Chain A
Amino acid sequence: MNVDNYKNYIKGILSAVFAYTLIDLFFVILYAAVIGGVFYLYAFLIGDFSLIQNKQILASIQVFFGFYFIAISVTSLNAFIKFKKNFKASTEE
């Protein structure tokens, strides 16, 4: 792999794989904030703050993040494999 190819490879990974991964992570945090905010508002409206301090809710949030990290990892890995395959095919041409 020469220098230009290497540059293109890095650029490709950053734009086609890593950028999406970052965006997905950002949005997962955002969703969690939105859902948490709505939940907090609900607890505030009904005046029952024990809902927020509930251990089960904490566990739910942890599982929620866990599932999303798994999903994002699998998707990013798949995108990386696809990109690598395409890149290889384009350089062989």
Chain B
Amino acid sequence: MFEHIKQAQEREATKDSQQLINSMKNNDYLAIAHHLSSLVVAVAAFILIATGINVLGDSNIEVVFGYGLLLVACVVILFHEFNKRKASYIQKYAYLIIKARFVATKYWHADYLAKYFWLGFILLLAVAVFLLKAFITGIDGWASPELYQGKKHSSSVTMVITTASGLLAAQIALFSFMMQQVLSKYSGVVAQNVASHRSFKLLALFPIVGLFVPFLLHNFGAPKSIESLLLPTIGFMLLLGLLITVMVAKTGLSESLAIRYFGVASALDIKRAMPAPIKTTSRSYKNFWRGLHFLGLDFRNKDRFQVIVAPSKGSGVAMESISASLGIANKAALEGQHDVFFSSLMSIEIIMEAYAEKRKLYCSSEDEIFTYLNYQFAALIESISKNPNQYLISNLTSSIGKIAKLTYCIGHIPEELIEDGHRGNSNNLTTALWMGLLVQCFEHTHKLTRSTAAHTSLRQMSELARTSISHKDSDAITLTYLPSVKKVYALCIPQLSDAYHKDLAGVCLSNLMDDLLTISLCRDSLRGTHEDAFEETLKLICNLSKLYLAIDAGGSLALNDPLNIALTKSATDKYCMQEIFFVVANKEITENYSYRVAISDLEKIINSLHEMAVFSIERNVYTSSYYLNALFEVLYIVVRGLPKKFQEHDELEYQERAQYGFNRDRVYTEQSLIELICDKLQDLSSKFYHSERILPDWQQSVFSSLGILIIRYADKEEEFIKNKVIEVVNNYYVLIKSDIDEGNRFHYDSEKYLQLVAAWIKFFNLDRVLTQDIEQLLANITSTRRHGGVRERYGLYGYPTLHHRDFYLYPLENIRHPQIMTKENFRTFSSYGDRLINDDVLMPFAINLENMRNE
């Protein structure tokens, strides 16, 4: 157990240190943004000042212009100096720097030969500029070709021609070797694509220049100003060109980089082959293109007037590129080339991203490319799952997940085609097919012991579900995701005795909790034709938890059992039911619909907690009291006050009902929720009272709940709270009394908690009769049961103790997120405890009880 706690602590510490590193990186970006922006402003200001002073002269215009520039420089400096201490101002520059860096990194990674192209280009440009400058600055007539034919330059001419020939030979040898030995082994298409890279074209220019220039000089001569400069410069350029050729050939030997580049080049081809459809409603079409059309000058591709189906040329390019990449993937898997396999998958991802970007401009709901890839991947999963290198399938699963998210580009209705502002349902069959593929991945991998693929497929399924939510597609959750989770869970449940499958089942539940949070955040905008996604997800969490507990009620050392997943905040990036309750309660309520949905969801959460708690007690799960802790935390969120929007809508609803003659009492949301939680607590306390194998601390949460309710009654004097508290306490009193009457031994410490709550009821004047009954009962029973061994202050007087301390309110361990519990909230909560546990409240009751016993 301690090992697990240690590991959990290490994981948390790693997250903390990662956060720290991220914040340090952010600070670095802010610092760079500060320095760079300041330097740029300083340089700009200096240039303005220098120009201004330079311009200043005798004429009025010069004076106005000169001083104007100085004024602008002064304003620029003042503006920057004044604003740069504001974080938001510097953050804008930092964001620009991050974006630029991201684009540059993406560019360098995507095109592995680009740097050599730019190197060669700069070299050519530098030579051209150097010669041009020399030519312009010293125009001095024309040198005759005889100079180059004679002794003066003939050796230079020979040397340049030899170097150019050598360079040409080296290029042919190196590039041919590179293409034949490395690239064409996997695919001729890839080799062809790499060979047409611009760096090869540019490098081919070097020997051509090297051969042409001496020829021209030999026959036509040169300008005198560069006559002696030309040949050495060209020679030097050729030598550097040779160096770049060697570097290109060396880098070009990397198969994986070449395959990745193939993806990038194909993506560009797809983008070119799938231009955006022409919108006949646009203003530019109406004015400009119609005019050209009238003149017979509109020669654009007529396929672009089609807005439903994407151009077949684009699909063709995509299909060809994907086929080539799939061929490489298959071959690499057979040969056990992990890096090549990974690169081919990356290449497919890049191609599909480019395709999806263009595909969403067309609204057809069928897509042959995604379907083709789906079928191909299904076959690939089958073959790779038998591969001894079990990491291959993890990579494949990850790629499937990423591509599955792109399926939302299908059936995407362009903005201009939406007339009523309602986009409609964005679901499509293809997404369901890809979810099925992820399930297939899980089916093939959950028995592999040296692969992370099963975990990856679960994570990808959950991420796909969240993508569906972000596209407001509720049906994808209810009809595809939840059944898929059920299927996957069904594979884990029979093998719960095995720690790996236990962990997988836990991950399923954990993912569902995360998805439930996401659904609750986007609840009102979800559109679907079937069941309610929130309700169905909650129900599934409930059912799967029950299924788990039915087979294994022993809990998990890794805190991966249903109770810990749903109810405890064991990691910062994991969300529990209480937090979801808070999110639902604090969501933005804009209209009556969202108000009603929020109330319904809050009630569903409370009912689910109760349902799972009942099942848990029936199964004698030792940690069942977690449900009571959760109910207490949920009650606290309601008791401290729901957002004002609820009260406003409660009032509006009451007025609406009154308008139609339904004159019922006002029922506020807070009241209905408190009553519901009290009912659940009452029912659960009876069940816990009669259970045997549970943590004895369960009474702490129940009486903490009663405590905060009594405080709210003391502050606001709401009658319903008084009634509910009395009802719950009375029920507890009856339980103990019936045990005594029947001669049974009553529940552990129950009389102490009864004494505690009776003291509160008496002090805050809730019910005199009930207090007297309890006093009578306690005076009789404690006469035979003394409190031996207790040393706590109030424990000595018969009040309950917890972990060698007097009773305290349950410390809200799972809702400590700063957005839920502010410092002010903590202070208020702490004051609740002080008001309930003090001499004034507890001592008079205890003394009175002692007197009654002595009588």
Contacts and interface: CB of A to CB of B under 8 A. Distances in A.
A60 to B, nearest CB: 4
B667 interface: no
Contacts of B49: 60, 63-64, 67
Contacts of B50: 56-57, 60
Contacts of B35: 27
A71 B76 CA distance: 10
Interface string B32-45: 00010011001101
B38 A74 contact: no
A27 B43 CA distance: 13
A71 B35 CA distance: 17
B44 to A, nearest CB: 11
A35 B42 contact: yes
A63 B70 contact: yes
B87 interface: no
Interface stretch (B17-25, B78-86, B491-499, B629-637): B78-86
B81 A60 contact: no
Contacts of B70: 63
Interface in A1-53: 20, 24, 27-28, 31-32, 34-35
A34 B39 CA distance: 9
Q: How large is the interface on A (under 10, 10 to 19, 20 to 34, 35 or more residues)?
A: 20 to 34
B617 to A, nearest CB: 50
B81 A71 contact: yes
Contact of A78 (B45, B74, B82): B82
Given A63-B49, A79-B85, A27 B78 contact: no
Contacts of A70: 74, 77-78
Given A64-B45, A74-B78, A56 B54 contact: yes
Given A35-B42, A67-B45, A67-B74, A59 B53 contact: yes
Given A31-B39, A63-B70, A68 B81 contact: yes
A64 B78 CA distance: 12
A32 B46 CA distance: 9
Given A31-B39, A60-B46, A64-B45, A71 B53 contact: no
A35 B39 CA distance: 9
B73 interface: yes
Contacts of A79: 85
Nearest to B50: A60
A71 B50 CA distance: 18
Contacts of A34: 39
B82 A74 contact: yes
A11 B77 CA distance: 28
Contacts of B77: 67-68, 70-71
A79 B54 CA distance: 35
B35 to A, nearest CB: 7
Interface in A49-93: 56-57, 59-60, 63-64, 67-68, 70-72, 74-75, 78-79
Given A71-B81, A79-B85, A60 B53 contact: yes
A54 B46 CA distance: 15
Contact of A31 (B42, B73, B74, B78): B42
A35 to B, nearest CB: 5
Contacts of A78: 82
Contacts of A35: 42-43, 46
Interface in B23-77: 35, 38-39, 42-43, 45-46, 49-50, 53-54, 70, 73-74, 77
A20 B85 contact: yes
A32 B77 CA distance: 14
A57 B47 CA distance: 10
Given A63-B70, A71-B77, A31 B85 contact: no
Given A60-B46, A71-B81, A75-B82, A31 B53 contact: no
A85 to B, nearest CB: 16
Given A27-B35, A67-B73, A56 B42 contact: no
Contacts of B38: 27, 31
Contacts of A68: 42, 77, 81
A68 B39 CA distance: 12
A79 to B, nearest CB: 7
Nearest to A31: B42
Contacts of A74: 78, 81-82
A44 B572 CA distance: 59
Contacts of B45: 64, 67
Contacts of A71: 74, 77-78, 80-82
A34 B38 CA distance: 12
A68 B45 CA distance: 10
A46 to B, nearest CB: 11
Interface in B617-658: none
Contacts of B73: 63, 67
B53 A56 contact: yes
A75 B74 contact: no
Nearest to B51: A60
B621 to A, nearest CB: 50
A59 B70 CA distance: 12
Nearest to A23: B34
Instruction: Count chain B CB atoms within 10 A of each CB in A20, A56, A67 and give the residue with the most.
Output: A67
A29 B50 CA distance: 17
B81 A64 contact: no
Contacts of A60: 46, 49-50, 53
Interface in B241-260: none
Nearest to B41: A31
19 contacts: A27-B38, A28-B42, A31-B43, A35-B43, A60-B49, A63-B53, A63-B70, A64-B45, A64-B46, A67-B45, A67-B49, A67-B77, A67-B78, A68-B77, A70-B74, A70-B77, A74-B78, A75-B82, A78-B82
Nearest 9 CB-CB pairs, A to B? Answer: A71-B81, A31-B42, A60-B50, A71-B78, A71-B77, A67-B77, A60-B49, A67-B74, A75-B81
Given A35-B46, A67-B49, 6 more contacts: A31-B38, A31-B39, A32-B42, A60-B50, A74-B81, A74-B82
